[in-house]
Amino acid sequence: MEKSGLNLKATELRLGLPGSESPERGSDKNGNAAVILSLKSFVGSGAKRVFCDATDADAKWVFSVSEAAAGRLFSPRGGGSSNNNNNNHGKVHVGSDSGLGGPVLEDGNGACVAAQSPKPVMMVQDKKSHEIAPSKAQVVGWPPIRSYRKNTMSSQSSKNDDDSEAKLGLGCLYVKVSMDGAPYLRKVDLKTYSSYIDLSSALEKMFSCFTIVSGQCSSHNVPSRDGLSESRLMDLLHGSEYVLTYEDKDGDWMLVGDVPWEMFTDSCRRLRIMKSSDAIGLAPRAMEKCKNRN
């Protein structure tokens, strides 16, 4: 797979217990640290439009959706900010201003962010510093949630440190979803979807800056569930900038959509929205595997 400076792990947001070492992350070609600016969420069509406007109008933009040269960063909604109030001083800012927002350029491996509104910079740990605010789980009785609720919710999505394992609970099937260029993961419960279309449109809403379905910025339409047949969806997926892939029980990465839905939910452990250019080798393997199974 071609690795044009793309390094998922480096952009993955992870927070650990105080005093823990952050896992080793290979530096990208230019050894740049990840930079994130807190931004308003892009979920929702309104935000999509803004992104497109910024893309078109702002000459500072290095690239647009369809010309992604490398990983693109966007920010979480400012949440999880347990590491921002005390620890900003330990972080590396690349090309940004005081950290209160404003567009940021990054050269080299080309991370670039649009700032929609001024917000404090929230840093993901870089390779050097491991300053992490105390994990919430460390403080006894905080947040103030009754033990009953804690136990019930955790049994519905049991904690698991291993990245690739799906979290199984009572009738839930949580899998992590990562997207190339995105600095944080989302989690979806596969059981709440009944078809690939459901899953795809839900994921699209979650990562809506970067349309899975179409490479163009389509701010004016959200593809309706009813309008898409499975085959058309597969066409779009295959023709788009990004493809949806998953890691199965055996640890192999497969294209989503090749197997019947139930078989997929049974074997899917993790999802990844991958750049199509990186996914070229996947399809044949998936087919072979399917054949072998049958």
Partner 1 sequence: MESESKRKKESPNTAELAVTASFPDEVLEIVLSLLTSHRDRSSVSLVCKDWYRAERWSRTQVFIGNCYSVSPEILTRRFPNIRSVTLKGKPRFSDFNLVPPNWGADIHAWLVAFAAKYPFLEELRLKRMAVSDESLEFLASNFPNFKLLSLLSCDGFSTDGLAAIATHCKNLTELDIQENGIEDSSGSWLSCFPESFTSLEVLNFANLTSEVNTDALERLVSRCKSLKVLKVNKSISLEQLQRLLVRAPQLEELGTGSFLQDLTARPYADLESAFNNCKNIHTLSGLWEAVPLYLPALYNSCANLTFLNLSYTALQSGEFAKLVVHCPRLRRLWVLDTVEDKGLEAVGSNCPLLEELRVFPADPFDEEIIHGVTEEGFVAVSFGCRRLHYVLYFCRQMTNAAVATIVQNCPNFTHFRLCIMTPGLPDYLTNEPMDEAFGAVVKTCSKLQRLSVSGLLTDLTFEYIGKYAKNLETLSVAFAGRSDRGMQCVLEGCPKLRKLEIRDCPFGNEALLSGLEKYESMRSLWMSACNVTMNACRRLAKQMPRLNVEVMKEDGSDDSQADKVYIYRTVAGPRRDAPPSVLTL
**Residue 81 within binding range of partner 1, rule CB under 8 A:** yes
* DSSP sequence for 216-245: S---S----TTT--HHHHHHHHHHSSEEEE
**Residue 186 within binding range of partner 1, rule CB under 8 A:** yes
Residue 222 buriedness (CB in 10 A; 0-12 / 13-18 / 19+): middle
* DSSP sequence for 169-220: -SS-EEEEEEETT-SS-EEEEGGG--SHHHHHHHHHHHTTTS-SS-SS---S
Using CB under 8 A, pick the residue from 7, 84, 200, 267 that binds partner 1. 84
Q: Which helix (H) or strand (E) holds 122?
A: none
Residue 234 to residue 100: CA distance in whole angstroms: 42
Minimum CB distance to partner 1 smaller for 177 or for 282: 177
Give alpha helix (H) positions in the chain.
8-11, 45-57, 147-156, 196-206, 230-239, 261-267, 282-293
In whole angstroms, the minimum distance from the beta carbon of 52 to partner 1 comes to 20
Minimum CB distance to partner 1 smaller for 153 or for 263: 153
For residues 37 and 104, the answer to whether their CB atoms sit within 8 Å is: yes
**Residue 19 within binding range of partner 1, rule CB under 8 A:** no
Q: Which residues contact 217 (CB under 8 A, 6 or more apart)?
A: 48, 51, 52, 55, 64, 65, 66, 211
**Residue 227 within binding range of partner 1, rule CB under 8 A:** no
Residue 93 CB coordination number (10 Å): 16
Minimum CB distance to partner 1 smaller for 241 or for 247: 247
Using CB under 8 A, pick the residue from 19, 170, 224, 291 that binds partner 1. 170
Residue 129 to residue 193: CA distance in whole angstroms: 40
Of residues 255 through 274, those in contact with partner 1 by CB under 8 A are none
**Residue 44 within binding range of partner 1, rule CB under 8 A:** yes
* Contact string (CB under 8 A) for partner 1, positions 96-135, x = contact: ----------------------xxx------------x-x
Using CB under 8 A, pick the residue from 38, 116, 211, 245 that binds partner 1. 38
User: How many residues contact partner 1, by CB under 8 A?
Assistant: 53
The answer to whether the peptide bond before residue 143 is cis (omega within 30 degrees of 0) is yes
In whole angstroms, the minimum distance from the beta carbon of 276 to partner 1 comes to 26
* Contact string (CB under 8 A) for partner 1, positions 128-167, x = contact: -----x-xxx-xxxxxxxxxxxx-xx--xx-x--------
**Residue 90 within binding range of partner 1, rule CB under 8 A:** no
In whole angstroms, the minimum distance from the beta carbon of 66 to partner 1 comes to 26
Residue 95 to residue 115: CA distance in whole angstroms: 13
Using CB under 8 A, pick the residue from 202, 234, 236, 283 that binds partner 1. 202
- Can you give the binding site for partner 1, defined by CB under 8 A? 13-15, 38, 41, 43-44, 76-82, 84-85, 118-120, 133, 135-137, 139-150, 152-153, 156-157, 159, 170-172, 184-187, 189, 191-192, 194, 202, 205
